[in-house]
Amino acid sequence: MSSATQAGGGKSVNERAESEVTPSLFIVPLQAIRADDVALAGSKGACLGELLRAGFPVPPGFVVTSMAYDRFVACNPLAEIIAQALRGQANRGAGIRDAFEGAPLPAEVKRPILAAYRQLGQGPVAVRSSAPAEDLAQATFAGQYETCLNVVGQRAVLAAVRRCWASLWSDRAIAYRARQGMDQTAVKLAVVVQRMVEAEVAGVMFTVNPVTGAGDEIVIEANPNLGQAVVSGLVTPDHVVLDRRSGQVKKQRLGRREVIIRVRPGGGIERVDGLATANTLALPDPALRHLMRLGLAIERYFGCPQDIEWAWAGGTLFILQARPITALPPASIAGSGEPG
C-alpha cells in the first residue's frame, strides 16, 4: 500500500482528490492523511492521521475514503433509494440501511480494502465511521454512527465497512441532520480501519474540566477492558481530576465497574457483569501521569481543549480518538497551566 502523498508528488490527499478520481484514493494509509483531509477521510480519520504523522501513539491503519462511499452508491441504485426514502414520513432509514447492507461492493473498492487489510496483518481490527461533519462546533454526531470492534477476517471487514456506511442513514442521524438544516443528499461517510487494541483499561480524558469549565484541571475516566462501556455510559467509571501544573490528584472516585466490555475469541465483543466494588484505580498511577502529559501535548498541537479516547494495553498507551470539546462553561481558561 503506497503512500498517497508520495504517489501524488507531494500533493495532499484533498489536492489529488480535486484533480483525479482513481482507485488509489478509495483507500489511503492513515499515516498519509492530514488534518485538512476532512472531506476525504472524515473528522475522525483526519485527526488520527494528523496525530500519527506527528508521532503520537495511534494504532496503524487505513481509511476507506468518502470517494469509496460515492463509488459504492453510484454502482448500486442507492441514490434513487435514498431519494425515495427521504420523501417518506416514517421509518425512512430502514429501507436505506437494508439496501446498503445488501448491495455488493464494486471490485475497484473491494480489492484495495482487502489488500490494505492483508498488509495490516489480517488480525483483529476496529472499524469506525468517520463523517466529514462529525465534530463541528454547531453540530456533533458523536455516537450516532457505527463502530465495529474486534473484526476478524476479510468477509467480516467488508461487512463492517458496509455497516458503517449504512449507519449514515439511521433514523436518529436523519432526524438530527434535518434539525440542523443539512442537505441530506450531500452527506457521505469515510471509514477508519485500525489494528485492534485489546485494552486492559480504557476510557476518556478531557483536557479541561467539562463540567465546571476549570482550565487548570484534567479529567480522566476509566474502566477495565474496552472503553466502549465508558463512552456509551454503561458504567460508573473511575473518575480522576488532576491539576494541570503539578500533575497531582485533586479528586478521585473509584468506579462501580457494573459492566465490562471485552473482546470475544474469534471476533466481536461481549458484555459481562463487572466487579461490584474496586479497591484501586484501574489505571496505574504512572500511566495516569503519562496520559495527562499526552493529553496536554495533543491540546497544544491542535490549539484547543480536547476530548480524547484512549486505551492502555501491554504497558503502552494508545490514542483512539481526539476531538475538540465543542461546549464549555464560561469558567474555562484552557491552556492556563502546563505539567510540572
Which range, of 54-63, 195-204, 210-219, averages the lowest pLDDT? 210-219
Percent of the chain with pLDDT over 70: 85
pLDDT of residue 339 exceeding 70: no
- Look up cell 479516547; give the residue: 309
Choose among 316, 99, 296: nearest CA to 308: 296
- What is the pLDDT confidence band of residue 21, given thresholds at 50, 70 and 90? very low
Nearest 5°: the CA angle 226, 324, 228 is: 15
pLDDT of residue 134 exceeding 70: no
Percent of the chain with pLDDT over 90: 68
Euclidean distance between CA atoms 259 and 225, whole angstroms: 10
3-class state of residue 322 by DSSP? strand
pLDDT of residue 5 exceeding 70: no
3-class state of residue 134 by DSSP? coil
pLDDT for 92: 75
pLDDT of residue 180 exceeding 60: yes
CA 176 to chain centre: 19
The identity of residue 229, as a single letter, is: A
The identity of residue 181, as a single letter, is: G
pLDDT tens per residue, range 66-81? 999 999 999 998 998 9
pLDDT of residue 36 exceeding 50: yes
- What is the pLDDT confidence band of residue 1, given thresholds at 50, 70 and 90? very low
pLDDT for 86: 84
pLDDT of residue 137 exceeding 80: no
Nearest 5°: the CA angle 169, 186, 65 is: 80
pLDDT tens per residue, range 248-306? 999 999 999 899 999 999 999 999 987 656 789 999 999 999 999 999 999 999 999 99
Cell numbers linked to 104: 455488493
Continuous H helices in the chain:
4-7, 13-19, 38-53, 66-74, 78-86, 92-102, 107-119, 154-167, 171-179, 228-231, 285-302
- Look up cell 498507551; give the residue: 317
pLDDT of residue 3 exceeding 60: no
pLDDT for 144: 76
Nearest 5°: the CA angle 14, 97, 154 is: 65
pLDDT tens per residue, range 57-68? 999 999 999 999
pLDDT of residue 194 exceeding 60: yes
Cβ-contact 86, 178 below 8 angstroms = no
pLDDT of residue 133 exceeding 70: no
pLDDT for 171: 86
pLDDT for 6: 40
pLDDT tens per residue, range 68-122? 999 999 999 899 899 888 887 556 788 899 999 899 999 999 999 999 999 999 9
pLDDT of residue 190 exceeding 50: yes
